Amino acid sequence: MIGIIASDGQTSAITEFFQLFKTPWEYYQPHRAYDVVIAPAGRPPIWAPSTRLVIVHGADREGGDPLPLTDTPWEHGSADAKQHLPIYGPSLTLGLPSGYESVVDAAGGPLGVRRTDRGVSTIRLGYDLFEEVRRLLTSGQAPRHAAIPTVDRHISLLRNWMLQADLRVVEIPPSPAGHAFIVCLTHDIDFAGIRQHFLDHSMWGFVYRSTAGAVRDLARRRIGLQRALRMWRALIALPFVYLGWARDFWEPFRWYRGVERGIPATYYVIPFSNRAGERVPGASAYRRAARYEVADLATDLTLLQAEGCEVGVHGLDAWHDAGRGRLERQRVGAVCRGPAAGIRMHWLLGNEGTPAVLEDAGFEYDSCVGFNETIGFRAGTSQVFRPLGTRRLLELPVHIQDGALFFRDRLDLPEHEAWAMCERVIAGVSCHGGVLTIVWHDRSHAPERLWGDFYRALVARLQDGSVWFATAAQAVAWFRVRREAQFERASDGRVRVRAHPEPGLPAIAIRMTTGHGTSMTHTDTIWNGTEIEIDSAA
């Protein structure tokens, strides 16, 4: 059991941290026994004889601290023995006197040191762990650190320190039993076809990119001759598409279902046509308006839902107006089978108040937290989390987006470099568990983008049997079951686990980890819905 002494105003961040690191904990009570005590600098605890690990954290100078302390006032990246760990808040570089060892290194010196005396390990961190978590889950992290699942690495560090103190770690891993992680394939439907775009900026943009743009990309070796020929054939066919004599090559649904072959995907559709929305930044805000509305897609959406896919809202004004969010949700629900559970804002618009607005509008989850300019972990985690300040709404973060990889004004990567970036993100999710959310837009498979082969290869890469492919709503529902599980103290060093199953979802596991380094072992108990007790005594 971990006992936490909280600083003022940190209860929400602490609670969410221990929803992500799902292990037994409670707020520190002086007369109870704890294996681990975590306290802010300046408020050292009085721990019981059972305590094996004490962690004191923060950039405040602790009275009587025997370590030399140096302010490190800039944002910087630090590293433990193996992994880069960005620190965003104030921090102190710590001295390393005799008897201490570094556990978190930085260029200017240690940010974390450990001393072990008579079986008790004391770790002093020069940064505030829970303030780092709060910043990441609210403001997000810098794009230059996007590839780093920073919150998940904070969890990994704490777990490793517990194991190195010869403690057993009981937790519920953030992936279903028997699976390495979850994959959500999602599609933002912005166009739904080129036939609706006649003599407008979308059509002329297609013409330009299929002519001058294709020649430019050939010269840059971003495309080959075969891909250029496909663009030119589509350009020649364009008049026949408008006449209804040729298939609309921007139509997305048939192509995606053919590639995904029964994998349940999530489609976010725009509720109203010809509405750009309000408070849209930039001179080209008018381009945010779509030419279709959800009713135009009724037949396709019914077929998608019959195949097990999910339909969500691609919101226009829901991010700043709960009343309009309710209208958008109702509009999609009127065409589909009941109100939509989830939303992703068109252009990923939002601010720190958006989660509370979306919760007020009745959404179960949001899927907006991601980067437009790169790929990776904007909130520093691969897990579904609850935005601070909400009660029930959960956030399904976005990790890989097609436009971020390939648009000229974003990363503008050749495909081999884009693949390497995707592999780094996949490795992060595979290491820590959680969910990998992929966004591939409606027309991205078609001329003139032609990113379909890359998407096909990415889906094939993930179909190795170790992942659970889920709709966004299914992934969120699984995490909700995990979040509602509770650990309680039981007698004789045992921990009681209570949870409530949901039919149709994979099981959760209760994991016991012992040892560390190369001797680390895991024992998983598959939870079947009954109350169980786990022996957590070291």
Residues sharing a CB contact under 8 Å with residue 450, sequence separation 6 or more, in sequence order: 223, 227, 230, 231
Helix axes 415-432, 150-164, angle to 10 degrees: 40
Instruction: State the pLDDT confidence band at 486, using cuts at 50, 70 and 90.
Output: confident
* C-beta of residue 332 within 8 angstroms of C-beta of residue 313: yes
The pLDDT, as a whole number, for residue 74 is: 45
Which one is predicted more confidently, 418 or 531?
418
Mean pLDDT of 10-14: 94
With a cut of 90, say whether residue 137 has pLDDT above it: yes
Q: How far apart are CA 2 and CA 28, in angstroms?
A: 8
Q: Tell me, what's the pLDDT at 96? A: 82
The average pLDDT across 124-128 equals: 92
Q: Is the pLDDT at 462 greater than 90, yes or no?
A: yes
**Mean pLDDT within 270-294:** 91
Is the CB of residue 53 less than 8 Å from the CB of residue 35? yes
Residue 73, pLDDT score:
47
Average pLDDT, the chain: 89
Question: What CA–CA distance (Å, rounded) separates 474 from 478?
Answer: 6
pLDDT at 308: 94
Residues 6+ apart with CB under 8 A from 435: 181, 182, 183, 184, 382, 383, 384, 396, 397, 429, 470, 475, 479
What's at 59, amino acid-wise? A
Q: Which residues pair with 185 in a beta bridge?
A: 438
**Model confidence at 339, in pLDDT bands (50, 70, 90)?**
confident
Partners of 105 in the β-ladder: 79
Q: What is the mean pLDDT of residues 342-355?
A: 95
- Tell me if 249 sits within 8 A of 257, measured CB to CB: no
Q: What is the pLDDT of residue 118?
A: 83
pLDDT tens for each residue of 233-281? 999 999 998 999 999 999 999 999 999 998 999 999 999 999 999 999 9
Q: Please report which confidence band the pLDDT of residue 491 belongs to, taking 50, 70 and 90 as the band edges.
A: low
Q: How far apart are CA 479 and CA 476, in angstroms?
A: 5
Which residue type occupies 99? G
Written as one string, the DSSP assignment of 405-453 is: HH-TTTT---HHHHHHHHHHHHHHHHHH-SEEEEE--TTTTSTTT--HH
Q: In what order do the strands lie in the sheet with 509-514?
A: 169-171, 509-514, 521-526
Q: Residue 75: is its pLDDT beyond 80?
A: no
Band (pLDDT 50/70/90 cuts) for residue 79 is very low
CA-CA distance, 210 to 264, in Å (whole number)?
32
Residue 313 neighbours by CB distance under 10 Å: 31
Q: Does residue 220 carry a pLDDT above 90?
A: no
| Predicted confidence (pLDDT) at residue 81 exceeds the cutoff of 50 | no
